Amino acid sequence: MSATAAAVHSLWTTRALADTAATPAIPTPHIEYAQLSPVLIVFGAAVLGVLIEAFAPRAARYAGQLAVSVVGLAAAFAALVALAADGYAQGRSHVAAMGAVAVDGPALFLQGTIVLIALVATFTFAERRLDPVAHGNRVDSFAAQGSAVPGGEQEQKAVRAGFTTTEVFPLLLFAVAGMMIFPAADDLLTLFVSLEVFSLPLYLLCALARRRRLMSQEASVKYFLLGAFSSAILLFGIALLYGYAGTVSYGGIADVVDGTAKLTPALANTTGNDALLLIGGAMVVMGLLFKVAAVPFHMWTPDVYQGAPTPVTGFMAAAVKVAAFGALLRLLYVVLPGMRWDWRPVMWGVAIVTMVVGAIIAVTQTDVKRLLAYSSIAHAGFLLTGVIAVSPSGVSSVLFYLVAYSFVTLGGFAVVTLVRDAGGEATHLSKWAGLGRRSPLLAAVFAVFLLSFAGIPLTAGFSGKFAVFKAAAQGGAVPLVVVGVISSAIAAFFYIRVIVMMFFQEPQPQGPTVAIPSPLTSTAIALGVAVTLVLGVAPQYFLDLAGKAGVFVR
Amino acid sequence: MNPANYLYLSALLFTIGAAGVLIRRNAIIVFMCVELMLNACNLAFVTFSRLHGNLDGQIIAFFTMVVAAAEVVVGLAIIVTFFRSRHSASVDDADLMKL
Amino acid sequence: MDPLIGALVGAPLLGAGILLVGGRRLDRTGHWIGCLWAAVSFVIGVVLFADLLSRSPAQRTLTSHLFTWVPVAGFQADVGFQLDQLSMTFVLLITGVGTLIHIYSVGYMEHDENRRKFFGYLNLFLAAMLLLVLADNYLLLYVGWEGVGLASYLLIGFWQHKPSAATAAKKAFLVNRVGDMGLSIAIMVMFTTFGSFAFRPVFAHVGDVSQGRLTTIGLLLLLAACGKSAQVPLQSWLGDAMEGPTPVSALIHAATMVTAGVYLVVRSGAIFNAAPTAQLAVCVVGAVTLVFGAIVGCAKDDIKKALAGSTMSQIGYMMLAAGLGPIGYVFAIMHLVTHGFFKAGLFLGAGSVMHGMNDEVDMRRFGALRTYMPVTFVTFGLGYLAIIGFPGLSGYWSKDKIIEAAFAKGGTEGWTLGAVALVGAGITAFYMTRVMLMTFFGDKRWQPDAEGHEPHPHESPKIMTIPMSILAFGSVFAGGLFSINSAFLKWLQPVTGHSDGHSPVATWEITVATLVVLILGVGLAWQSYGRQAVPAVAPRGSLLTRAARRDLLQDDFNHVVLVRGGEHLTRSLVYLDHTVVDGAVNGTAAGVGGLSGRLRRLQNGFVRSYAVSMLGGTAVLVAATLLMRGV
């Protein structure tokens, strides 16, 4: 022990100068900028957005921010496609940036998905036709001034002056960049930092609703406190895993778990102590389960989804789930496959509880945003069944499901923004009664999304559910599939109930109006419908794509 | 001194922080308890770094501090706006949304 | 030449598209467009026929693969055509008779404001029927099969303002569905048995498959044929289908569509040859229907329904022949073609009579029309002579061959079937003579119609009489032409195969016997309807007559057994559904709802209790993980 202590001391005392031969040389970090370019482009665009906020005149900010976001995200997507075309998704996949970030199939696939989600979300963020014109200014879903007291004099002044919170665009971009690193993180430190990088902007975005500010702020506080709490637990888990393996790199930990690592005296001391590994692993997994909204770490979801501005909810529901499931897959498949006999039964339990509780509580919901929140919890359960498969088809089915689910979710929340009454969005389900009579097209589109959520054949939801259940059944989790199918049946009940409500009930006399969206929101909704139908009718190409992208680098 | 003792201290601090999150009503205090948990993690990192004789844990501790600082910036901003619109920082007042 | 096969189907389909999409602006020219596309298709048919004739008999099968319809691994559904002698025969019959009837309809439907739509449907029918006979696999055949069903439904119900027409269309559709189910299940069984449903591979592997499978497929195909061709027990729709315009009755419900069942059986000859049980079933169905239709035809006073009964009976002959196997296939098709001529001619004649008599159909109100409608009388009369099998005319050549083939089957079966066919010929002579006498001879029994208009019988315009004359020409000479040097036999033999069989009765004996029953039938009819005046109100008649007037109680049977039975079954199922199923479902729903309400309360809105749940969850997660390892 003293020998090691002396070696460590030698690193930071003058003894190092005297004993250079014993000092491990710290090499200059080697960063593969080209391979990290998608993330760097998004970060660059975000920083540019901050500069626009600082220097551009207020009138020019909206257009500037929108342009920077769209161009940045499009460029990032192009870079991702170029990387994939270069073979980084398969043959050339490796770990870049000194072991911090993986460039491989799942990472590129998920990053591409996230970037596309963000692009669509940018459109819904930028929508300015839905709210009535305030003092001659078109306004979006966000508060005139986030810091102002709701209803206070300062806020009224800001509204009169036509302020808008254009900071949401850089915030979105920072979150996107964090989410892109999250599923690609190849050591636990990067995992933690990227988690915070995408979480912090989301906490802020949640608080910025133009209407129902109190609810919005409450959502933000709840999300923030619980998020910080969960990341503290995750960090402690990282500390324990580091204590167990002496490294935070995924490959390094996996080697220690498998027993193939070079044994140092310190390692010999800690590897005997499996408690460190098991407790640490469980805590890290808990941090990720919080983000995917698995029961019992789901309780923030309904409140935050309901309170946050609806475009933000749509973005969160889609992108956070993609990023977090990506990270969960990598963690379980790369770091902890050696102890899958320990975590699989536990995850079985989590998946079952998540599916059942999500579906059952949704049955009695009366608010459409809360309903979608519980539906997203149930979907997290369905996705977990694919994760548990521990097979290549498990990975590809989860990847496919994420694509199918996220675009439908974005579209669904975009529809929610359109149904409005005097108080803003009319989210209470009773107001949606008879919507099919007033606005058949919108109701039909929403019905398509609901059918997809319910997993009715010829929709993307069915293809995805079929893929994960098939993978799970092949992985030996037949009881899990049975529970999944039963929960799907329960879930179908409340989705179909909404459809019945929209089409077969008399409209209320003071029912909501349906706002005519600009092409921005229309694009988001149309894309949702297109993905739903394409992945539902002809899923094979995308299943193959996900299958090709389903190999992790280690 | 046995480094394991530092780990025990770290676990104790973490538990105190977690208990504070569960018990305290004031959002600021709840948040401070979360910071306490992060610091407990830092202590664990540094101890393990010492145990394993590599620098990773100590570097992570620095990262954690930076992240914690960023969290403070965002968190305080959120809590302050929350306080200003309700004149209360009690998390138990935040129950507009439930069921 | 091969792309022309697609054009054969494409031409009328295009016509249907133009007419149905074109809308009202085509109202003035639509009927000619319809005729044009039918004629185009006929011309293509003739060109292809000439091409086939120029080849040696072994080379007379053309195929044309258009595209792959459903490309799924292991399930290959192609859109491809196969033109051989059998299809060619049908193509010429369908397009030839079809074109004539199109032209006839121009006159017949002159005063109908939906004439354009009518021609659109007729073109649609032609396309579907051609698809049916040209398909090179059962799935595509099924498409055509459903297509003709649709066209038939649309055309029977063409005058849907009449409740009887709408009901008849529905009835035809429903009864046909039963048969269609048979065909679709047959295709499924075929696919699981052979791994394909294209004609060629299926027929090639018939020998490798168990007898039971083949019998199953055969019986299912027979069910399909019964539905489409109005054979017992699915015959009830054909009489009501006469509610459609008369050209429809002539084209679809006499000459072409109803013979699709015969086509199906002959086309599937390879399957039936290897499944004697199914073959016998075909014979029995044919024999029963032959007598059944003939008896119904004797009792009907409605001229079209009498002819419909006759159609049923004649198709019974074809079925009987098709069930005899290689001895009968050729004669089934030959009778089908000659029947196509004379029955279409008879229907057009009936239409012409109705045209002149204010749409009256009751033969008891006709009489003595021969002087008022000379052309109709002559053409109808030639058709009449052909159908009863007057020596030298078409029906004589084809029907006698069937009777002969039935005897040639040998054994008790042969004697029975032959006797039934022979008796059927006698009844045919009786009811057709009855129709002839009641319509064209005797006294005038005309009565004013419901609105008080006195009928002024007159000859129909040329556009109607010319097609009738051409068909009459066919009725007289087709059979004879086919039989010169056994031309038809030699033409079809490569496809259907043929064996002569050994008749226990000499050919001349059969001819004599047939002539005897023919004379008996005609004489009996003359006795009842020629020498005595026909009462304007139908006499009560014997028990059999009354039953035959009600289509031998087929509707009553269906009502009692199927409708009532179905109602009882439905009621008990509804009861079961309400109590057991709904009870279980509602109970579950209530249970889930209650559970949901309780679980919801956990979501109490307080951050701190959420944090408790998270920390508790983490503790459980950690504990469970540790437990798994047993640390």
Nearest to C628 among A226, A229, A345 (CB): A345
Nearest to C612 among B22, B30, B91 (CB): B22
- Three-state secondary-structure class, residue C457: coil
Average pLDDT over residues C90-107: 93
| ipTM reported for the complex, 2 dp | 0.97
Q: Which residues of A touch B37 (CB under 8 A)?
A: 229, 232-233, 235-236
The pLDDT value given to residue A2 = 47
- Three-state secondary-structure class, residue C67: strand
CB atoms B96 and C605 under 8 Å? yes
For residue C106, is pLDDT > 50? yes
Task: Enter the pTM of the model.
Answer: 0.69
Sign of CA dihedral C260, C262, C266, C269: positive
For chain A, positions 290-329, list CB contacts with chain B under 8 A: 302-303, 306-307
Q: Which residues of A touch C611 (CB under 8 A)?
A: 225-226, 229
Percent of chain C having pLDDT more than 90? Answer: 45
The pLDDT value given to residue C489 = 87
- Three-state secondary-structure class, residue C24: helix
Q: Domain for residue A23, yes or no?
A: no
C252-261 pLDDT, tens digit each: 888 889 999 9
Distance between CA atoms of residues A337 and A350, nearest Å: 18
Distances (CA, A) of C614 to A219, A290, A306, A359, C608: 17, 8, 20, 20, 10
Distance between CA atoms of residues A501 and B64, nearest Å: 50
Q: Is the peptide bond before C233 cis (omega within 30 degrees of 0)?
A: yes
8 A C-beta contact, residue A334 and residue A278: no
Choose from B21, B86, B97 for mutation: most chain C CBs within 10 A. Answer: B21
Nearest residue on chain C to A286, alpha-carbon basis: C618
Three-class DSSP labels, A167-217: CHHHHHHHHHHHHHHHHHECEHHHHHHHHHHHHHHHHHHHCCECCCHHHHH
In this prediction, the residues of chain A whose per-residue pLDDT falls under 70 are: 1-26, 271-272
Residues of B with CB under 8 A from a CB of C: 18, 21-23, 25, 30, 91-92, 94-99
A111 is written with which tokens?
A: 């990053």
pLDDT band at C487 (very low <50, low <70, confident <90, very high): confident
Average pLDDT over residues C256-280: 92
Q: How near does any CA of chain C get to the CA of B94, in Å?
A: 7
Q: Which residues of A touch C595 (CB under 8 A)?
A: 360
C384 is written with which tokens?
A: 């009449």
Distance between CA atoms of residues A256 and A244, nearest Å: 8
Q: What is the DSSP letter of B77?
A: H
The pLDDT value given to residue C243 = 87
- Three-state secondary-structure class, residue C604: coil
Distance between CA atoms of residues A37 and C120, nearest Å: 62
8 A C-beta contact, residue B57 and residue B46: yes
Q: Among C265, C362, C262, which residue's Cα sits nearest to residue C315?
A: C262
C317-326 pLDDT, tens digit each: 999 999 998 8
Domain that holds residue A124: 30-548
Q: Is the peptide bond before A296 cis (omega within 30 degrees of 0)?
A: yes
Residues 6 or more apart in contact with residue C528 via CB below 8 angstroms: C434
Residues 6 or more apart in contact with residue C591 via CB below 8 angstroms: none
What is the architecture of the domain spanning B25-87? Orthogonal Bundle (1.10)
Q: How near does any CA of chain B get to the CA of C615, in Å?
A: 8
Q: Domain for residue A173, yes or no?
A: yes
pLDDT band at B23 (very low <50, low <70, confident <90, very high): very high
Distance between CA atoms of residues C169 and C152, nearest Å: 8
Nearest residue on chain B to A213, alpha-carbon basis: B85
Beta bridge partners of A425: A420
- Angle of helix A392-418 relative to helix A519-537, nearest 10 degrees? 140
Nearest to A278 among C610, C618, C629 (CB): C629
Neighbours of chain A (3+ CB pairs under 8 A): B, C
Sign of CA dihedral A134, A139, A145, A150: positive
CB atoms B44 and A246 under 8 Å? no
A207 touching chain B per CB within 8 A: yes
Q: Domain for residue A155, yes or no?
A: yes
CB atoms A228 and B75 under 8 Å? yes
Nearest to C606 among B21, B23, B95 (CB): B95
Number of domains composing chain A: 1
Nearest to C603 among A226, A275, A302 (CB): A302
Distance between CA atoms of residues A145 and A167, nearest Å: 10
Distance between CA atoms of residues A100 and C389, nearest Å: 96
pLDDT: is A329 or C367 the higher one?
A329
CB atoms C617 and A297 under 8 Å? yes
Residues 6 or more apart in contact with residue C539 via CB below 8 angstroms: none
Of A192-206, A491-505, B64-78, C587-601, the least confident: C587-601
Q: How near does any CA of chain A get to the CA of C198, in Å?
A: 26
Distance between CA atoms of residues C233 and C285, nearest Å: 8
Opening angle at CA B53, ends B49 and B54, nearest 5 = 65
Choose from B91, B93, B97 for mutation: most chain C CBs within 10 A. Answer: B91
Classify the phi-psi angles of C538: left when phi > 0, otherwise alpha if psi is within -120 to 50, otherwise beta. Answer: beta
Look up residue C499 and give its amino acid. S
Torsions phi, psi of C135, nearest 5? -60, 145
Torsions phi, psi of C63, nearest 5? -125, 155
Q: Domain for residue A188, yes or no?
A: yes
Distance between CA atoms of residues C312 and C334, nearest Å: 17
Q: Domain for residue A13, yes or no?
A: no
Nearest residue on chain C to B91, alpha-carbon basis: C607
B35 is written with which tokens?
A: 């910071």
Nearest residue on chain A to C607, alpha-carbon basis: A222
Q: Which residue carries 């394993």 as its tokens?
A: B52
How many of the other CB atoms lie within 10 Å of CB of C233? Answer: 17
Of chain A, the end-to-end C-alpha distance in Å amounts to 32
Q: How near does any CA of chain A get to the CA of C1, in Å?
A: 36
8 A C-beta contact, residue C207 and residue C280: no
8 A C-beta contact, residue C125 and residue C257: yes
For chain A, positions 21-80, list CB contacts with chain C under 8 A: none
